[in-house]
């Protein structure tokens, strides 16, 4: 569990005093972060209150209940938490609401369908952490996680790098898997675009680094699990947040929600407009998110998810060193002349059904559909594509007895298929009287069908009250079918590509020395399939020799709590060996061909520390810091006649640090934070590196209740308040054509401000 500046920790000590062979009562103790008792905490079973804590924070359940018992703990000043009372699980953690305004209240799910259930620590980010930044900024909150570095060329251009994996992906993200409310949002070739989701709609986000989350795929980079904000039972509200800022920023988010014991509905609308600080960088996005859940009875419930995003984003692209130093606001010359942009319409629909066969055995099955319509004029051609994706996912979860203790088993499968239709068209922008892109002749017309099947199983075994082990296995099979609808006869490039099945085992071990210190270890195997750019040559021919990357992850670490759990340390060391490294060789202006080349070794140490202290006068002090030191290198990498073995991995900093301080007093809250990125090599020869940089941000907010059930927040913030000039993303191994300079750099935002007003009315 990670402390965050706006997240206070409440430690709930639930000591199960019952053995099924005896007739003793079940009792527990509920404390806050300073070990002070919390009274009036409702203990709910099937949405019915069966007990409450007294003035000493103690609750007692009737002797008729047997362990294990899953209950909810509910208090108006705390997030609802689902916990399982067992004989060996005695310590749980609960997030306290910052106050009783409920402007950012969410219900955090603890089901197998929405959390990884990995027994060793993972990184979890709450809506409170997102609220520390601009509501436009999803990337900065994720970048606070050691081991995670998101390079952001623009709002619609993000590359997620986890422990060095993904750094060689030139555009976008394709080395992880991601899910939203348990529904996959990664397409058939592993590409993920998190910018389709509004940060204000995300209630929690879990990051699993490396191939440890067996039931969510075993990509070498890891897994992202996003969950939407939800109304609590008994709530009905309408909320609105209007934000304005520099460079034409206007953002409005409206949420309407209601929830009772049977039905919950959340409807969110978001509109974001930004002129951008660079030439040709306007951005306009509209999004609608609907989530709903209906509970038929104690055994059956159904949920629905609909997310629609429509955005238009101009593309300034990367620039060379001279342009970066002289005027980073300029766009790349050819992209500016072509007035390049992307026009996206995305739909995600999911329907899930949960059936509980008993208190110890359940199944959740989801069916889903996603659609992407993408149109992108580029200087070298115009890309017109659309993708239809659909699939089914089922997961069974069962508790059983193991050495007189409760163990867990989960198993299931996921089938995903998508049809990718794309064509390229000649771009006649040079003959269009400075009016930007103009369609010419058709250059290619293709259809690719991608099939992906995952089968998985995980078992968690408590060998003693202190020692747990978790063993998982994932089996994947993937194939592509390519159809050329443009060329005929001997020029036709129809082809199929079936990859061999991959088996990926995983072992996690956790030893709990005391309630305040543990040690953990992991060994796991993972893989990454080639992206579409790597699978196909620029001429549209499938490369039959290109295979997936495979690797083995080794990880050890420890977590320590001190001063009544106000201070938390976590230290992790890892080693990741990757074979058959996927390399994209540039063969033209933004055109590439993929191949497998050599091995890499990823080594690193990650450290995080956080402290939270709330004083009796209402003053809050909460500093935090995280750091990572890495040594990612090519072990065996020969590119043509060049031997890069032993060189540092391209596009990854050796040092990354984050830190921040939250100060709160009554209705005021001040958050100040920084990120430091060390220099990183820009080419495989390591002859050129980007400069190190440090960016500081700050945000001040005031919250209050105007009248009963009507709450308001006013905030103002400044990003990059030292006005650092830096590259927020880089394009590795860039090549200049003709007399042009290699375009390595995506300039980061200069100093910019934002201000917002939130209102919330509860009915």
Tokens 């050691």 belong to 146
Given a contact cutoff of 8 angstroms between Cβ atoms, the answer to whether 296 and 356 are in contact is no
For 697-737, the pLDDT digits (tens) are: 999 999 998 888 899 999 999 999 999 999 999 999 888 87
- Return the pLDDT at 255: 96
**DSSP three-state, residue 22:** coil
Given a contact cutoff of 8 angstroms between Cβ atoms, the answer to whether 49 and 62 are in contact is no
Write phi, then psi, for 201 (nearest 5 degrees). Answer: -95, -5
Q: Which residues of 720-733 are buried (b: 16+ CB within 10 A; e: fewer)?
A: beeeeebbbbbbbb
**Is the pLDDT confidence value at 433 over 80?**
yes
DSSP-assigned letter for residue 120: S
Peptide bond between residue 68 and the one before it cis (omega within 30 degrees of 0): yes
CA distances 319 to 153, 232, 333, Å, are: 11, 48, 8
Share of the chain above pLDDT 70, in %: 87
For 257-316, the pLDDT digits (tens) are: 999 889 999 999 999 999 999 999 999 999 999 999 999 998 999 999 999 999 999 999
Peptide bond between residue 659 and the one before it cis (omega within 30 degrees of 0): no
**Bridge partners (DSSP) listed for residue 223:** 177, 208
Which has the closest alpha carbon to 575: 636, 522, 626, 638? Answer: 522
**What pTM was computed for the model?**
0.84
Q: How far apart are CA 355 and CA 298, in angstroms?
A: 9
**Is the pLDDT confidence value at 603 over 50?**
yes
Q: Kindly report the CATH number that applies to the domain delimited by 26-93.
A: 2.60.40.1120
Residue 394: CB atoms within 10 Å: 16
Q: How far apart are CA 30 and CA 37, in angstroms?
A: 6
Give me 309's structure tokens. Answer: 């995003």
**Is the pLDDT confidence value at 100 over 50?**
no
What is the residue extent of each domain of the chain?
A: 26-93, 123-227, 228-762
C-alpha angle 106-658-80 in degrees, rounded to nearest 5: 15
**Is the pLDDT confidence value at 538 over 90?**
no
Q: How far apart are CA 593 and CA 170, in angstroms?
A: 12
Q: How far apart are CA 25 and CA 28, in angstroms?
A: 10
- Return the pLDDT at 35: 43
Of residues 423 and 194, more confidently modeled: 423
For 226-258, the pLDDT digits (tens) are: 999 888 878 899 999 999 999 999 999 999 999
- Return the pLDDT at 99: 34
Radius of gyration of the chain (CA): 26
- Return the pLDDT at 474: 96
pLDDT band at 747 (very low <50, low <70, confident <90, very high): very high
- Return the pLDDT at 344: 95
**Bridge partners (DSSP) listed for residue 222:** 176, 209
For 17-50, the pLDDT digits (tens) are: 333 333 455 667 675 543 445 667 888 888 777 8
Given a contact cutoff of 8 angstroms between Cβ atoms, the answer to whether 265 and 259 are in contact is yes
Which has the closest alpha carbon to 673: 714, 722, 614? Answer: 722
Beta strands in 428-494 (DSSP E): 439-462, 467-484
- Return the pLDDT at 151: 93
Q: How far apart are CA 191 and CA 193, in angstroms?
A: 7
**Is the pLDDT confidence value at 11 over 90?**
no
Under CATH, domain 228-762 is a member of which superfamily?
A: TonB-dependent receptor, beta-barrel domain (2.40.170.20)
Of residues 726 and 532, more confidently modeled: 726
CA distances 269 to 183, 200, 285, Å, are: 20, 10, 11
For 462-480, what is the mean pLDDT? 93
Bridging pattern class, strands 176-180 and 222-228: parallel
Report the mean per-residue pLDDT for the chain: 86
pLDDT band at 541 (very low <50, low <70, confident <90, very high): low
Beta strands in 75-200 (DSSP E): 81-85, 91-96, 123-126, 148-154, 157-162, 176-180, 183-184
Q: How far apart are CA 549 and CA 239, in angstroms?
A: 46
- Return the pLDDT at 21: 34
Tokens 């959740």 belong to 364
Q: Name, in order, each residue with C-beta under 8 angstroms of 599's C-beta and a sequence gap of 6 or more.
A: 577, 578, 579, 580, 581, 634, 635, 636, 637
For 213-217, what is the mean pLDDT? 88
- Return the pLDDT at 695: 97
For 634-672, the pLDDT digits (tens) are: 998 887 778 899 999 999 999 999 999 999 998 899 999
Of residues 566 and 583, more confidently modeled: 566
Q: How far apart are CA 758 and CA 241, in angstroms?
A: 4
Q: How far apart are CA 434 and CA 428, in angstroms?
A: 11
Given a contact cutoff of 8 angstroms between Cβ atoms, the answer to whether 367 and 404 are in contact is no
- Return the pLDDT at 72: 81
Q: From the options 3.40.50.300, 1.10.10.10, 2.170.130.10, 3.30.1360.200, give the CATH code of 123-227.
A: 2.170.130.10
**Bridge partners (DSSP) listed for residue 367:** 351, 392
pLDDT band at 113 (very low <50, low <70, confident <90, very high): low
Q: How far apart are the first and last CA of the chain?
A: 33
**Is the pLDDT confidence value at 76 over 70?**
no
**Is the pLDDT confidence value at 101 over 70?**
no
Q: How many CA atoms lie within 13 A of 369 on its CB side?
A: 8
Q: Within its chain, how far is the Cα of 734 from the centroid?
A: 28
């Amino acid at each position: 569990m990670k402390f965050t500046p706006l997240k206070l920790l409440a430690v709930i000590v639930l000591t199960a005093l019952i053995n099924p062979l005896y007739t003793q009562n079940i009792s527990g103790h509920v404390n806050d972060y300073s070990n002070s008792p919390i009274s009036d905490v409702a203990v709910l079973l099937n949405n019915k209150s069966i007990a409450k804590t007294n003035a000493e924070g103690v609750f007692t359940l009737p002797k008729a209940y047997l362990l294990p018992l899953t209950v909810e703990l509910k208090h108006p000043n705390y997030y609802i938490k689902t916990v399982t009372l067992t004989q060996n699980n005695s310590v749980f953690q609960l997030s306290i609401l910052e106050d009783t305004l409920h402007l950012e209240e969410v219900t955090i799910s603890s089901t197998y369908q929405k959390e990884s259930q990995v027994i060793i620590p993972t990184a979890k980010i709450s809506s409170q952490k997102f609220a520390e930044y601009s509501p436009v900024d999803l990337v900065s909150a994720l970048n606070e996680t050691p081991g995670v570095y998101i390079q952001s060329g623009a709002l619609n251009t993000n590359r997620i790098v986890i422990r060095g994996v993904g750094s060689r992906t030139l555009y976008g993200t394709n080395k992880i898997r991601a899910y939203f409310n348990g529904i996959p949002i990664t397409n058939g070739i592993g590409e993920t675009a998190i910018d389709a989701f509004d940060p204000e709609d995300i209630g929690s986000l879990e990051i699993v680094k490396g191939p440890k989350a067996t039931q969510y795929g075993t990509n070498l980079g890891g897994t992202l699990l996003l969950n939407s904000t939800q109304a609590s039972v008994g709530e009905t509200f309408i909320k609105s947040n209007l934000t304005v800022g520099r460079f034409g920023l206007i953002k409005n988010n409206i949420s309407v929600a209601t929830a009772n014991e049977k039905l919950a509905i959340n409807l969110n609308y978001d509109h974001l407009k930004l002129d951008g600080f660079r030439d040709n960088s306007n951005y306009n996005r509209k999004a609608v998110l609907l989530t709903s859940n209906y509970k038929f009875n104690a055994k059956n419930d159904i949920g629905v998810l609909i997310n629609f995003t429509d955005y238009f984003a101009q593309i300034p692209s990367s620039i060379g060193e001279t342009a970066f130093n002289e005027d980073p606001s300029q766009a790349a010359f050819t992209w500016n002349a072509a007035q390049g942009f992307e026009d996206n319409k995305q739909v995600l629909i999911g329907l899930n059904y949960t059936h509980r066969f008993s208190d110890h055995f359940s199944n959740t099955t989801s069916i889903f559909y996603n659609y992407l319509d993408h149109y992108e004029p580029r200087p070298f051609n115009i890309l017109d594509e659309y993708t239809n994706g659909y699939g089914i996912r089922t997961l069974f979860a069962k508790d059983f007895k193991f050495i007189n203790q409760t163990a867990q088993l989960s198993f299931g499968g996921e089938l995903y298929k998508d049809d990718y239709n794309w064509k390229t068209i000649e771009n006649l922008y040079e003959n269009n009287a400075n009016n930007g892109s103009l369609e010419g002749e058709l250059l290619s017309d293709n259809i690719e069908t991608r099939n992906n099947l995952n089968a998985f199983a995980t078992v968690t075994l408590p060998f003693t009250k202190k020692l747990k082990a978790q063993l998982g296995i994932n089996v994947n099979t993937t194939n592509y079918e390519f159809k050329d609808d443009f060329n005929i006869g001997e020029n036709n490039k129809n082809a199929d590509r079936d990859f061999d099945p991959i088996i990926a085992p995983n072992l996690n071990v956790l030893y709990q020395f005391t309630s305040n210190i543990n040690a953990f270890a992991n060994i796991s195997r993972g893989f990454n399939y080639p992206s579409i750019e790597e699978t196909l040559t620029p001429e549209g021919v499938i490369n039959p020799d290109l295979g997936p990357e495979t690797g083995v992850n080794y990880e050890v670490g420890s977590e320590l709590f001190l001063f009544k759990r106000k201070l938390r340390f976590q230290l992790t060391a890892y080693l990741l060996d990757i074979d058959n490294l996927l390399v994209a060789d540039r063969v033209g202006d933004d055109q590439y061909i993929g191949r497998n080349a050599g091995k890499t070794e990823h080594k690193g140490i990650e450290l995080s520390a956080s402290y939270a202290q709330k004083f009796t006068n209402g003053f809050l002090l909460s500093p935090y810091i995280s750091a990572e030191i890495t040594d990612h290198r090519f072990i065996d990498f020969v590119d043509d006649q060049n031997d890069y073995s032993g060189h540092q991995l391209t596009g990854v900093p050796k040092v990354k640090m984050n830190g921040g301080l939250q100060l709160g007093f009554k209705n005021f809250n001040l958050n100040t934070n920084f990120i430091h990125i060390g220099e990183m090599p820009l080419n495989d020869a390591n002859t050129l590196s980007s400069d190190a940089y440090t960016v500081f941000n700050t945000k001040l907010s005031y919250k209050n209740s105007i009248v009963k059930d009507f709450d308001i927040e006013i905030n103002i913030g400044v990003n990059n308040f030292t006005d650092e000039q830096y590259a927020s993303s880089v394009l590795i191994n860039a090549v200049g054509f003709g007399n042009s300079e290699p375009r390595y750099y995506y300039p980061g935002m200069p100093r910019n401000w934002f201000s917002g007003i939130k209102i919330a009315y509860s009915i």
